[in-house]
């Protein structure tokens, strides 16, 4: 086996891929701020405007695993360039949309392109970095994920403030075009070309698995995304469809492995890769509490307190700042502290959520943004200690040949967690508000619910921490026994 030789362009390649990935993840949330302007300018219906948001999230979640597998089989550079070009074109298409239907179609296509692009990031990190450098790279990746999720409302508010109504919303999409073109040009120059040629689609891509998993994910996400339009009551049967197709998917993938074929998602990734299954579950549960609270904050600040979209976004900026700084630092500390970082970070996130809940109960009025700044900063610092270390630890034992699909599966769990958390927290918030509890009481209830969801992630992280200690002790014991046996033979 040849010695590992780091690519001299690896950090430049990472910067380009993360910049493109940031755009894709940002478009999950940035459009929320522009929805009133879109509805007014295009005369869109409430159901149609919901699909401008949910269509992107649905398409994004549907293709993450397939995009990761295509990257594994065809080459991550090729898939990244293809997906980035598609994302730029569909962003321009969305910005130029003359009506509601065209915008929805553009957002679906944009979501597909972003979902194909995102798993290439984690796959390229697995390919290009080793040891402590991989931790640093995943730290930057975690910062990208955390910042893009939290800063979307702020950037959306800034763009609308600069370009104004009625067509300022179009620049929420147009801004991706020049950035994407620059990223594409730099990616052509800096992304390493594969040493081996891409393999055949016919022999390497599990099209049956793609179909089965796609229907299963669709069955979970669609009712959740449509919940505000009565999706849980009218589309509940899709959960049963998801169970049936999910079971069929697992059986099919196992049969592919037995026959020596290339599965879409090798189930041994969950059963035979130490820490992967638990780490993926920690990520999904954390995202259910972490991302679900942004919609609740937007409703509380804008409808409850009369904040502008920009003011609402700025009110939660301390979380994004804390997350950005701590994610970059935590990535470098993973080799030394490991899962302890995740556990500590989750405790800080829960403490921040509970503090916000308590402060909201005091009804701070228009000063709520200032009251919440410090606990959100604490939660943000903790959040940065969760995403990047958990990603590193979850993927550290994954073979590089499966890095793309593993990253895609990890992100799919996070998308499902996001959908579940958003539905649960919004439902709790509206239930308390509908019972005449008032906006402060509704926010308190929602934040306590977010803390409970995050606590379940903490429980799994503690279990995984103990399992890692046992594996380490077992490895040390076996090493000592081999050394003793060698000395006796000597």
The residues spanned by each domain of the chain are 8-192, 269-474
Check: CB of residue 15 under 8 Å from CB of residue 108: no
Q: Which of 172-181, 323-332, 391-400 has the highest mean pLDDT?
A: 172-181
Q: Which of 32, 23, 215, 37 is nearest to 117 (CA)?
A: 23
Looking at the predicted structure, is the pLDDT value of residue 450 above 90? yes
Please count the residues of the chain. 490
Selection from 295, 448, 437 nearest residue 359 by Cα: 448
Q: What is the pLDDT of residues 319-345, one digit of tens each?
A: 888 887 888 788 778 878 888 999 999
Average pLDDT, rounded, for the chain: 83
Give alpha helix (H) positions in 164-236.
Answer: 170-174, 176-190, 201-204, 207-225, 231-234
91-95, 120-124, 235-239, 472-476: which range is least confident on average?
472-476
Taking the CA atoms of 408, 409, 414 and 415 in sequence, report the sign of the dihedral they define.
positive
What's the rounded Cα separation, in Å, for the pair 303 and 14? 40
Q: How far apart are CA 117 and CA 133, in angstroms?
A: 22
Provide the CB-side half-sphere exposure for 158 (13 A, CA): 10
Return d(Cα 237, Cα 232) in angstroms, integer.
Answer: 9
Distances (CA, A) of 242 to 25, 200, 439: 25, 30, 35
Cβ atoms of 353 and 289 closer than 8 Å: yes
* Range 8-192: architecture per CATH: Up-down Bundle (1.20)
Question: Does residue 457 contact residue 289 with C-beta atoms inside 8 Å?
Answer: yes
**pTM of the predicted protein model:** 0.79
Contact 285, 417 (CB under 8 A): yes
**More confident: 287 or 88:** 88
pLDDT beyond 50 at 36: yes
- 199 pLDDT more than 70: no
Give me the CATH code for the 269-474 domain, please.
1.20.1250.20
Looking at residue 443, its pLDDT comes to 93
Residue 459's pLDDT band (boundaries 50, 70, 90)?
Answer: very high
> Do the two domains 8-192 and 269-474 of this chain adopt the same fold?
yes
* 414-448 burial: b if 16+ Cβ within 10 Å, else e: bbbbbbbbbbbbbebbeebbeeeeebbbbbbbbbb
What local confidence, expressed as pLDDT, does residue 126 receive? 80
CA distance 29 to 290: 13
Judge whether residue 439 has pLDDT over 80.
yes
């Amino acid at each position: 086996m040849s010695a590992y030789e780091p690519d001299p362009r690896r950090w430049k390649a990472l910067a380009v891929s993360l910049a493109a990935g940031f755009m894709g993840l940002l478009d999950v949330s940035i459009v929320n701020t522009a929805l009133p302007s879109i509805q007014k300018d295009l005369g869109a219906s409430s159901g149609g405007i919901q699909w401008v948001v949910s269509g992107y999230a649905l398409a994004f979640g549907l293709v993450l695993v397939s995009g990761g597998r295509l990257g594994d089989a065809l080459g991550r550079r090729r898939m990244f360039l293809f997906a980035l070009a598609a994302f730029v074109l569909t962003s321009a298409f969305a910005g130029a949309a003359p009506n509601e239907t065209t915008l929805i179609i553009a957002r679906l296509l944009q979501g597909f392109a972003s979902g194909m692009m995102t798993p290439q990031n984690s796959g390229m990190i697995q390919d290009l970095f080793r040891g402590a450098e991989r931790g640093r790279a995943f730290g930057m990746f975690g910062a990208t994920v955390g910042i893009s999720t939290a800063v979307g409302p702020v950037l959306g508010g800034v763009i609308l403030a600069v370009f104004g109504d009625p067509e300022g919303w179009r620049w929420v999409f147009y801004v991706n075009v020049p950035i994407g073109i620059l990223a594409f040009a730099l990616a052509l120059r800096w992304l390493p070309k594969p040493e081996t040629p891409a393999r055949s689609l016919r022999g390497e891509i599990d099209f049956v698995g793609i179909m089965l998993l796609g229907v299963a994910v669709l069955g979970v996400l669609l009712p959740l995304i449509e919940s505000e339009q009565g999706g849980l009551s009218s589309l509940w049967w899709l959960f049963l469809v998801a169970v049936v197709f999910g079971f069929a998917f697992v059986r099919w993938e196992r049969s592919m492995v037995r026959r020596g074929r290339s599965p879409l998602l090798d189930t041994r990734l969950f059963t035979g890769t130490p820490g992967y299954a638990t780490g993926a579950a920690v990520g999904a549960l954390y995202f259910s509490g972490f991302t679900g609270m942004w919609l609740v904050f937007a409703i509380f600040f804008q409808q409850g307190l009369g904040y502008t979209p920009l003011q609402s976004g700025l009110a939660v900026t301390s979380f994004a700042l804390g997350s950005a700084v701590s994610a970059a630092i935590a990535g470098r500390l993973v080799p030394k502290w490991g899962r302890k970082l995740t556990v500590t970070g989750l405790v800080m996130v829960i403490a921040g959520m509970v503090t916000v809940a308590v402060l909201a109960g005091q009804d701070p009025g228009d000063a709520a943004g200032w009251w919440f700044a410090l606990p959100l900063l604490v939660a943000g610092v903790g959040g940065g200690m969760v995403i990047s270390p958990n990603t590193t630890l979850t993927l550290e034992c994954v073979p590089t040949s499966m890095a793309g699909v593993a990253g895609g599966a990890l992100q799919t769990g996070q998308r499902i967690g996001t959908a579940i958390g958003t539905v649960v927290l919004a439902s709790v918030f509206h239930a308390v508000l509908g019972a005449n509890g008032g906006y402060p009481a509704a926010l308190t209830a929602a934040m306590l619910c977010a803390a409970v969801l995050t606590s379940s992630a903490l429980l799994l992280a503690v279990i995984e921490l103990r399992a890692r200690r046992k594996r380490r002790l077992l490895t040390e014991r076996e090493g000592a026994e081999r050394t003793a046996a060698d000395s006796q033979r000597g």
